[in-house]
Amino acid sequence: MEKSQVLTPRESCKLINSKGSLVKSNETGIHKVSEMIFKGITEHGFSRKIWLKSDLNPKTPNQEAIDWIFLVDTLNFSFWPDEGNSKFGVKDHNGKLQTGYWSLCAAVNRALKVGIPVTSAEFMANATLEQIKTIFRSDTNGEIPLIEERLKAMNNAGRVLLEKYFGSFAMCVMRAEKDVHKLLSIIIDNFESYRDICQYKENTVSFLKRAQILIADIWTCFDAKDLGEFHNIDELTMFADYRIPQALVALNALEYSEKLKQILKSKEPISSGSETECEIRGLSIYVCDLIQERVKEMSKENGSSVEVNAVLVDYFLWEWARDNRSTIEELPFHRSRCIYY
């Protein structure tokens, strides 16, 4: 497929907003969320330094950190359990049980602590199913979903790094020359599991959740310096997953049709790549773009200068969703099992 035929995530969300019927934006909610984020930045110090908040993230900005981020984002998808099953969970170095994305981080750190070079390209390329079952063993009765798909993504990524990038994703970053579009192209052209692309009506749309968050995580880990410096970081969109749409609905920035609400309440699976899923993800990107623009307007009106982009809007909403789990779960998230988020 020619790249020119694939709409970018931002082009995709505008198209979906113009043609969709199940999801729409809500101006009142958008303004409310924008005020929350503006206050979070100006009064509570929210910034890209949020990366340092978690003990599970690498703290030293070096090649090892990039390799850690690359592995984690290669496997950063689909942690929710099937109905009736227990959540996958892993205890971290402090003995705290982590679930969701953080369970993945805890499992990777646990492996590294006992000398398993899980972030090395050679290990990734040659890992077996038995090895990753051991690495991603759960400390609960639940299991990590899509284990074979994770192995395939890991093996493919490791082989590509060895064959083309001297065994480290840091080389991909260097070849991108501080340009997010160049780095996105390198990722999508070379690493199969990152091709978050599908059909919506007569168009080929993309969301690129994991490819974009991979770049954003490097940007935040390096505090926008050295290998984390990108002159056009603001051109990334939010990372369309299942938690941010749920948060946007809870905050009334997104509105679902009654038909869609009933599907979600019944916990009926929604096919990956379906028009329904595309509308949920596309409108989430669209609304987050409106929010970041509104925050910029507030900053200008206030005579202040704040750093805000879709990355930070996403990070803020993800943190808010984690801290307000009972609120967001009044309406279940959309259940689309896939490797893209």
How high is the mean pLDDT of the chain? 97
* C-alpha 341: how far from chain center: 6
Helix (H) or strand (E) segment spanning residue 206:
strand 203-206
Contact 68, 119 (CB under 8 A): yes
The span from the CA of 56 to the CA of 102, in Å, is: 8
> 85-103, pLDDT tens digit by residue?
999 999 999 999 999 999 9
> 143-172, pLDDT tens digit by residue?
999 999 999 999 999 999 999 999 999 999
Q: Indicate if the pLDDT at residue 1 is higher than 60.
A: no
Contact 108, 119 (CB under 8 A): yes
Contact 313, 46 (CB under 8 A): no
Active site residues: 241
Alpha-carbon Rg for the chain in angstroms: 19
Q: Indicate if the pLDDT at residue 3 is higher than 70.
A: no
Q: Indicate if the pLDDT at residue 4 is higher than 80.
A: no
The span from the CA of 114 to the CA of 128, in Å, is: 18
> 263-306, pLDDT tens digit by residue?
999 999 999 999 999 999 999 999 999 999 999 999 999 998 89
Q: How confident is the model at residue 239 (pLDDT cuts 50, 70, 90)?
A: very high
Say if pTM beats, i.e. exceeds, 0.95: yes
